[in-house]
Amino acid sequence: MAKFAVIKEHIYQKIESGEWPEYHPVSSENELSAEFNVSRMTARRALQELSDEGLVTRTRGSGTFVAPLKSQSALLTIRNIADEIKMRNHKHHAVVRSLQSVPALPHIAAALQLDPEGHVFHSVITHFENGQAVQVEERFVNPLLVPNYLEQDFTEHTPHEYLCEVTPLTEASHLIEAVMPTKQTAKWLDMHEVEPCLQIQRRTWCRDGVVSQATLTHPGSRFRLGGHMTFKSTQRSSRGAAKGSTTGDEQ
Amino acid sequence: MAKFAVIKEHIYQKIESGEWPEYHPVSSENELSAEFNVSRMTARRALQELSDEGLVTRTRGSGTFVAPLKSQSALLTIRNIADEIKMRNHKHHAVVRSLQSVPALPHIAAALQLDPEGHVFHSVITHFENGQAVQVEERFVNPLLVPNYLEQDFTEHTPHEYLCEVTPLTEASHLIEAVMPTKQTAKWLDMHEVEPCLQIQRRTWCRDGVVSQATLTHPGSRFRLGGHMTFKSTQRSSRGAAKGSTTGDEQ
DNA sequence: AACTTGCTAATGTATATACAACATAGCAAA
DNA sequence: TTTGCTATGTTGTATATACATTAGCAAGTT
């Protein structure tokens, strides 16, 4: 492996394992060049590419630091409903409808890459924006990777926030559909059963496997999923490759 | 401006103006270093970053070439329904429902950043997959940037393909909603009026301004929008920052 | 005709060096 | 206390050089 790649891997491991939390200082170019016995330019390349990938932030004169996970989320276009609501200066609260261990149905076990015999953790939470229901979040969680899931208070922090903390996400896959709500979902969302819903199914991975599978259901009338992308490419290298905002309120 | 940025801008201008089409060879590192009177390493950085951004492809021993526009689409997660259908080895055909110049309604003029007095081009097209309607595409196009829009045969090439050709896209913004179809749309999609639709509103920009505003309506039962994203970050620099596939058929 | 060899050009990696621009801490003067 | 300066460390840019790896081509060999 190339030397710069060795250094990248070393730093990546520190971040991914949680040994270096957000904003933790990363060794300077000079330190790395001494530590790995390479030139400063080589150490620099490692840091530069990590910066391009959004894993660290660099400021001249100050140093290199582990980037807040939030910016990773931006890359992944992973959405946290609570953050979005707060970003609009609205009030968020959540009601936990269910939180327990359930037998793994075959398709759930398959989605989580688990033994079909076992159990999985299951939560159903309704999210409110200014007192109005905007999302029903049904989630199946891998108990091997997140053993303490059931003991969390999800009125304080969303499952997404908790999962991001305990298992740094590395991958996500989304499936977006328009569906009619089930009777139960319509009731939770306080909406008519004939109104369409925007439903996002999301699976997230960490290094060790599938973390969770979530189904996020929004009333069509109260929710839009927005995104903006650009490749100006005239400014900074790859940082500008794909900058995605997530929430509507455009134009 | 930094020297490497000057070189980047020079090459970007060639690509963006169409002077260098797909696969056109780009000056080598040595040529650039001579032409701009910089070291090879500086010329190299310009090419490297353009490569990271997906604008050019580089192969050792061979040279640097303008990347096919398709990879730009990947960056933007811009979706072309015809490509997706073909990728599934299904048959695509389109029916043009309307293609004409219409007076610009105020909100359309605003969206296209045009004079509210003028006209805009308007097209409505139904797309079929294996004979079944899967999308109604209603599109408003900026006549100043795409003067020959009305003379195209959109049963041959989709508007998206045509627009990509004549105006290299630099930006896009999406809005995704779940809605009920209008009577007319339901009829075109051959679906019940009580079935929900996934509706994507997309505005696209080129360097000179807003190119078009499209509303893509899909029957919820026959369509899913999928995406997969990862930041492995162990492999190549920024190329791996956000790799998005667009169509379902996962798991 | 098919294969091999060798040359050339291009990109990939790595090093050493120099200077510029910026941030911060600490200290001195007002 | 406030202001301003400076020393130091850090990142940003640019250069010069060396060698490794690969693609493509051309000439020669079998």
Short-list B245, B249, B201, CA closest to B73: B245
In angstroms, the CA A183 to CA A191 distance is: 10
Q: What angle do CA B249, B174, B197 make, to 5 degrees?
A: 60
How much is the mean pLDDT over chain B? 84
Asked if residue B238 has pLDDT above 60, the reply is no
Asked if residue A231 has pLDDT above 70, the reply is no
pLDDT digits (tens, 9 = 90+) for A169-192: 777 888 888 999 999 999 999 998
- Residue B53 pLDDT class (50, 70, 90 cuts): confident
Q: What is the pLDDT of residue A247?
A: 44
Q: What is the pLDDT of residue B191?
A: 92
Choose between B251 and A84: higher pLDDT: A84
- Residue A229 pLDDT class (50, 70, 90 cuts): low
Asked if residue B81 has pLDDT above 90, the reply is no
Asked if residue A248 has pLDDT above 70, the reply is no
Q: What is the pLDDT of residue A138?
A: 97
Answer whether any strand D atom is within 7 A of the Cβ of A26: yes
CA of residue B24 to C1' of nucleotide C5, angstroms: 31
CA dihedral sign of residues A226, A230, A236, A238: positive
Looking at beta carbons, which residues of chain B come within 8 Å of A53?
A: 231, 233, 237-238, 240-241
How much is the mean pLDDT over chain A? 84
Q: What 3-state class would DSSP assign to A7?
A: helix
| pLDDT (average), residues B5-31 | 88
In angstroms, the CA A76 to CA A171 distance is: 8
Q: Between chains, do B242 and A75 touch, taking CB under 8 Å as contact?
A: yes
- Residue B236 pLDDT class (50, 70, 90 cuts): very low
Residue with tokens 């293609």: B99
| pLDDT (average), residues B224-241 | 49
Asked if residue A233 has pLDDT above 90, the reply is no
Answer whether any strand D atom is within 7 A of the Cβ of A31: yes
Answer whether any strand D atom is within 7 A of the Cβ of B39: yes
For residue B235, give the chain A residue with the closest CA: A5
- Residue B249 pLDDT class (50, 70, 90 cuts): very low
Q: Between chains, do A231 and B171 touch, taking CB under 8 Å as contact?
A: yes
Question: Smallest Cβ distance to A241: which of B75, B170, B223?
Answer: B75
Burial-class residue B131 by CB neighbours within 10 Å (0-12, 13-18, 19+). Answer: exposed
Short-list A95, A149, A157, A152, CA closest to A125: A95
ipTM over 0.90: no
Mutation target for B interface from A41, A231, A236, A245: give the one with most B CBs within 10 A: A231
Task: Report the share of chain B in percent with pLDDT over 70.
Answer: 85
CB-contacted nucleotides of strand D (7 Å): 9-17, 20-24
Q: What is the pLDDT of residue B77?
A: 54
Q: What is the pLDDT of residue A159?
A: 95
Nearest nucleotide by C1' position to the B60 CA atom? C11
| pLDDT (average), residues B140-153 | 96
Answer whether any strand D atom is within 7 A of the Cβ of A46: no
SS (H, E, C) chain B: CCHHHHHHHHHHHHHHHCCCCCCCEECCHHHHHHHCCCCHHHHHHHHHHHHHCCCEEEECCCEEEECCHHHHHHHHCCCCHHHHHHHCCCCEEEEEEEEEEEECCHHHHHHCCCCCCCEEEEEEEEEEECCEEEEEEEEEECCCCCCCHHHCCCCCCCHHHHHHHHCCEEEEEEEEEEECCCHHHHHHCCCCCCCCEEEEEEEEEECCEEEEEEEEEEEHHHCCEEEEEECCCCCCCHHHCCCCEEECCCC
Give B211's contacts (C-beta < 8 A, 6+ positions apart): B141, B142, B145, B146, B163, B167, B169, B204, B205
Q: Between chains, do B227 and A72 touch, taking CB under 8 Å as contact?
A: no
Q: How far is A160 from chain B (nearest CA, A)?
A: 17
Nearest nucleotide by C1' position to the A59 CA atom? D11
pLDDT digits (tens, 9 = 90+) for A75-118: 445 568 888 888 788 999 999 999 999 999 999 999 999 988 88
Beta strands in A38-114 (DSSP E): 56-59, 63-66, 92-103
Q: What is the pLDDT of residue B76?
A: 46
| pLDDT (average), residues B126-153 | 95
Residue A15 burial (CB count, 10 A): 22
| Ranges A60-74, A141-155, B237-251: which has the least confidence | B237-251
In angstroms, the CA B114 to CA B101 distance is: 14
pLDDT digits (tens, 9 = 90+) for A196-209: 999 989 898 887 88
Q: What is the pLDDT of residue A110?
A: 92
Q: Are B47 and B12 in contact (CB under 8 A)?
A: no
Q: What is the pLDDT of residue B190?
A: 93
Q: How far is A58 from chain B (nearest CA, A)?
A: 16
| Ranges B56-65, B81-90, B145-154: which has the least confidence | B81-90
Looking at beta carbons, which residues of chain B come within 8 Å of A226?
A: 173-176
Asked if residue B22 has pLDDT above 80, the reply is yes
What residue ranges define each of the domains in chain A, with the CATH number in brackets?
3-67 (1.10.10.10), 74-227 (3.40.1410.10)
pLDDT digits (tens, 9 = 90+) for B93-118: 999 999 999 999 999 999 999 988 88
Q: Between chains, do B52 and A248 touch, taking CB under 8 Å as contact?
A: no
Choose between A33 and A239: higher pLDDT: A33
- Residue A234 pLDDT class (50, 70, 90 cuts): very low
Task: Report the share of chain B in percent with pLDDT over 90.
Answer: 51
